[in-house]
Amino acid sequence: MPTLAIPLKDILTDAADPVDLTMLPEDEAIAQIKGIYGFLASEVEVAIHNGVAVITLPDAKASKTGQAFDKIAQATRAARGGNYRQAIRYYEEALKVLPDHTDARRDLAMCLFEMGNYDAAKQHLIRVLQLDPSDASAFLVLGNLYYQAEQDYGSAERYYAGALDLEPDNPYVLNSYAGLKGKRKQYAEAVVLFERAIDLLPGYPNPRYGLALCLLESGALDAAIATLDDLFAATISEDPRHAPVYGEARRLYAEARRRRAQANGEEVMARVRETMDAYTADTGIGVRVVEDQQLTTAAKVELAWRYQRPYHLIRVKGRTEPYMLAHEFEHILLSSEARALGRNRLYAVSQQTVEEQVQRLERDLRKVQNRRGVDARAAATYGRMLVEGMLNQLYNGPLDMVIDSRLHARCPWLRDHQFGWMAADLTQNLRGLNDRQVRETTPVRIWQANTAMNTATALFVDDLFSGATAFGEAYAAGGMLANGQRLFALFEQAWAGFTPGDECDLVDAWTAELGLTGQYYWTADTDPDPDVGDAPAAPAARPSRTRPAGVEGPTNPALLHDPGTQMAATLHMVSALERFEGMSQNAVTQIAGEIAILGITGIDYASPAPQYTLRFLPGEEFTGLQLLCLQYVGFQIAFPETDTQIPLGEAYAAARKLYEAKRKGDP
């Protein structure tokens, strides 16, 4: 008959109200023990000899023992697959035959814990410790239960300490105990325990995450980021139970980078400025930065030799951030280096090509007409915007990979700001990926190309920061993951032996992969920009073109906040309201959309001279400010939910009041 011999002092009675059996009379102690171990069998026999309880159990029925072990094996497989409900059923069936099987009972408790049945889990864990007081794993799970489920940190520490006494080199015990220490803000003690766990089991991600969290909370930002870098650099665990840990680690990494970027912002900006000043001292070419609220991107560059100036100009929209400024300056450096090698080329798109692409999208655009209730002209305007956006991305996607790789390698002091900016951009891209309305109103050809390029960018960032992000995973459901992987592979191939000027070849390689050959052309980077100021006119054979976001294009400094400009805008808006009053929404959309497309290359709203014409308002000429006012009012009428990013809200509010007053005949 099976027999257990357990010292009275080690027999666990009630976790919440323990009883010291050594202090009871023998008959009372035996009665207590029979009650405790009654779950094994009603015929349990107990004797006490020299402070040790000898517990005799009836024989298990041999015929059912084999079946019980099979159930345990089935339960274990189910639990590993996350099917805890099924595992619980199998474990319970096995324990009816083998009630003293401590491993099965402990694993049952863990499944119950995962299912949120904490009371039942606790009861089974206590029974395990009654059967085997040296079961460190049961102490550990009990500690986890008190810590995570009940926030009873005192009881949790008692069980963690018991587990650590039994197995001082158990990395799982060390990790859990360290987590509790960190929760109680005992960071120094927690760090020691986490580091021991890492040394014992380097591939276990939990202690590295816990260590980074403690370091972050104690203000050691550099050490926290270094710890997370080590976590992501190591082989990623394939255990599905560890997936949430990596998710939390990535969120922690982003927060640590954000905090450090906030702390070192002024210092990093000073270093960017120093780099630009050194370039000026070396080349004699200055670099100026001006604000331009009419940009359709965060910033753009106007190269000195293209504009016949003694300086490069970086236009920024809104506040100048260190990474954005460094990124645009890197465009200048790359163009300068490629030009010195005679390899710099300019990307151009003919309007004829755009129109041809819009015609190919006719079937898709008819669907847009039906969904949005607009006519063919408005749908075509929308199509032009999408085509030009795709072609801009075709240029900027691979080029930005080159720029950011150069920055990451040469400016490690910029990486906090680089990470924050790029992660924010990719997060915004994901919103578009998951937006059903965007998917339904975007032609398939455009959507697939954009998604493939966004996927490649996501994979690039995941690689650049060594797995600290997992944006690429989000694109698996988009159906373009393989295409994005091929685009990223083309970048890796080009970057391995990169020479300035190769970025143009990379754009061509992406174009071929996406089946978009013939959508743009290259021009030599030798003459001044034909579209700017007093520069020579373009050859007659050259078609009109639009420029990709982020490179040169005519526009003006931001003057829209000037009181005189605001007053003039108010009057122009009153005229726009009167003009649109008798028009259909389709007509308003066409006019506003045409102006928005003109804005891609910049609108000169400082000049008072009428210099613009519109296809949808033939026979008239407009100033740049008039166009902006027409666009602003048009979008307020047709798509009031759209943020045009034109800072004329106050002028529009005043115009509405004047317009309503005129309609009512008020003086």
The residue-averaged pLDDT of 173-185 equals: 96
Among candidate residues 194, 136, 191, the one with its CA nearest the CA of residue 165: 136
Compute the mean pLDDT over every residue in the chain, rounded to the nearest whole number.
Answer: 85
Q: What pTM, to 2 d.p., does this model score?
A: 0.70
What is the per-residue pLDDT for 38?
61
Helices (H), 44-202: 62-80, 84-97, 102-114, 118-131, 136-144, 153-166, 171-183, 187-200
pLDDT digits 0-9 by tens, 539-587: 223 333 444 444 443 344 457 777 778 888 888 999 999 999 888 888 8
What is the per-residue pLDDT for 301?
92
Token pair in block for residue 234: 């190591």
Among candidate residues 588, 250, 145, the one with its CA nearest the CA of residue 258: 250
User: Using an 8 Å Cβ cutoff, are 322 and 299 in contact?
Assistant: no
- Beta-strand ranges (E) seen in 200-357 are 286-291, 299-302, 311-316, 345-350
Q: How confident is residue 593, by pLDDT bands cut at 50, 70 and 90?
A: confident
What is the per-residue pLDDT for 402?
97
What is the per-residue pLDDT for 52?
79
pLDDT digits 0-9 by tens, 409-446: 999 999 999 999 999 989 888 877 877 777 777 888 89
Of 12-16, 484-488, 582-586, the range with the highest mean pLDDT is 484-488
The more confidently predicted of residues 666 and 501 is 501
The more confidently predicted of residues 24 and 629 is 629
The residue-averaged pLDDT of 443-468 equals: 93
The more confidently predicted of residues 624 and 65 is 624
Helix (H, G, I), strand (E, B) or coil at 528: coil
What is the per-residue pLDDT for 240?
79
What is the per-residue pLDDT for 13?
65
CA distance 328 to 334: 10
The residue-averaged pLDDT of 188-209 equals: 96
Provide the β-strand partners of residue 521.
348
Helix (H, G, I), strand (E, B) or coil at 467: coil
Half-sphere exposure at residue 525, Cβ-oriented, CA atoms within 13 angstroms: 22
User: Using an 8 Å Cβ cutoff, are 178 and 143 in contact?
Assistant: no
The more confidently predicted of residues 2 and 131 is 131
Quickly tell me which residue has 């898709």 as its tokens: 364
pLDDT exceeds 70 at position 31 = yes
What is the per-residue pLDDT for 120?
93
Q: How many CB atoms lie within 10 A of CB 358?
A: 21
CA distance 424 to 263: 19
Token pair in block for residue 109: 């408790």
The residue-averaged pLDDT of 130-139 equals: 89
What is the per-residue pLDDT for 535?
31
pLDDT digits 0-9 by tens, 222-262: 999 999 999 998 888 888 778 899 999 999 999 999 999 99
The residue-averaged pLDDT of 137-151 equals: 92
pLDDT digits 0-9 by tens, 45-84: 778 877 777 777 666 554 466 677 788 888 888 888 889 9
Chain-centroid distance of CA 223 in Å reads 22
What is the per-residue pLDDT for 12?
64
pLDDT digits 0-9 by tens, 503-524: 999 999 999 999 998 888 998 8
Spatial CB neighbours of 185, under 8 Å, sequence gap ≥ 6? 217
Q: How confident is residue 101, by pLDDT bands cut at 50, 70 and 90?
A: confident
pLDDT exceeds 50 at position 276 = yes
pLDDT digits 0-9 by tens, 357-371: 888 888 888 887 777
pLDDT exceeds 70 at position 195 = yes
The residue-averaged pLDDT of 126-135 equals: 88
